[in-house]
Amino acid sequence: MRETAVVGFAQRQMKDFDGSPSMAELLVPILAECYEQTGWAKKDIGFWCSGSSDYLAGRSFSFVSAIDAIGVLPPVNESHVEMDAAWALYEAWLKIQTGEVDTALVFGFGKASAGVLRRTLALQLDPYTMTPLWPDTVSLAALQARAGLDAGLWDEAALAEVVNRSLTDAEKNEYAVRAGGSSVEELLARPMFADPLRKHDCAPVTDGAAAIVLAAGDRAREANQRPAWISGIAHSSDGLHLGTRDLTSSGSAERAVAAAGGTAGVQVAELHAPFSHQELVLRSALGLGNDVRISPSGGALAANPMFSAGAIRIGEAAKQIWDGSADKVLGHATSGPALQQNLVCVMEGRN
């Protein structure tokens, strides 16, 4: 494996973005931050990869107008995934492994507020047996939450504890859309939204964008004093029928973390859990003990920009390495209904 590190990261998370879903305007300052962090310019980037969705934008080839923000004339080496930018990061990591390029800039963007997000996402389901029923993402997550309650794996107070910790941590995150802890009792007194989930158990609809810079070997050392070296990265998917999965566990997260080398020694894990109970599923599937600090950014319950929130988890985890707060961290991204697809990125600092 070529040694490859995360060396730059910039983000925006906002309640709604008052502008075009192509988001070129939002991406320009984020890319500028990445250039400033690394000391690089456009010409130093060997590969570009983005994550977004036309269904979110409501127009075809929406990513084509967004890539104006990176300056694509003369032509650049560029690709796109219809997934969270964490998967674009995986593609970029592979590209670096091939030896074809030494550096890559990955970005994701999405304006979820333009439509009804929980409805739009019904289009990622099995089109024969699921989409015609238009099951919304919140309902599907609630079926998963209920399965765990019935199995005695968690109770409502455990969900409220996740929310309380997330929103308390989010007070220190300038990009959080939702922040402010209260108490488990106060949270449990609020009304149900999708029984057994309350609105605070579900990530807020969030617009936003993020960018991450990857580099190999000496290029990484040139860009960052303490690069977040990727020691393992992998992703996996479960089948598309909810009924054939055990919703209370996550086989794909288990397979991904095993392929990424496990979590021994991980001090901080940024988990992409858009619903409170999913953090509990992931902690178990990833084998994270009680001594691991979970999502100090506040996580997805504080802000969940579609197509960047997973990449943001990797960026937030990398920051813990850069500033010396941790020596080994994990960034996680999910996609699909009820944690169907999971990606794990383990990073280490070296002294």
**Interface residue list for another protein (CB under 8 A):** 18-25, 27-28, 31, 42, 55, 58-59, 65, 67-73, 111, 113-116, 118-120, 122-123, 127-136, 139-140, 142-147, 150, 192-197, 238-245, 247
Least distance between another protein and beta carbon 45 (Å):
11
Between CA 142 and CA 275 the distance in angstroms is 9
Return the number of the residue (195 or 218) whose C-beta is nearest another protein.
195
Return the number of the residue (248 or 335) whose C-beta is nearest another protein.
248
Return the number of the residue (305 or 331) whose C-beta is nearest another protein.
305
Least distance between another protein and beta carbon 351 (Å):
36
Return the number of the residue (140 or 321) whose C-beta is nearest another protein.
140
Least distance between another protein and beta carbon 227 (Å):
25
Return the number of the residue (73 or 264) whose C-beta is nearest another protein.
73
Return the number of the residue (2 or 42) whose C-beta is nearest another protein.
42
Least distance between another protein and beta carbon 167 (Å):
22
Q: For the chain, give the secondary structure using H, E and C.
A: CCCEEEEEEEEEEECCCCCCCCCHHHHHHHHHHHHHHHCCCHHHCCEEEEECCHHHHCCCCHHHHHHHHHCCCCCCCEEEECCCHHHHHHHHHHHHHCCCCCEEEEEEEEEHHHCCHHHHHHHHCCCCCCHHHCCCHHHHHHHHHHHHHHCCCCCHHHHHHHHHHHHHHHHHCCCCCCCCCCCHHHHHCCCEEECCEEHHHECCCEEEEEEEEEEEHHHHHHHCCCCEEEEEEEEEECCCCHHHCCCCCCHHHHHHHHHCCCCCCCCEEECCCCEHHHHHHHHHHCCCCCCCEECCCCCCCCCCECCCHHHHHHHHHHHHHHCCCCCEEEEEEEECCCCCEEEEEEEECCC
Return the number of the residue (142 or 326) whose C-beta is nearest another protein.
142
Least distance between another protein and beta carbon 131 (Å):
6
Least distance between another protein and beta carbon 255 (Å):
12
Least distance between another protein and beta carbon 111 (Å):
8
Least distance between another protein and beta carbon 152 (Å):
12
Q: Give the residue carrying structure tokens 């902690």.
A: 283
Return the number of the residue (1 or 61) whose C-beta is nearest another protein.
61
**What tokens does 167 get?**
């929103």
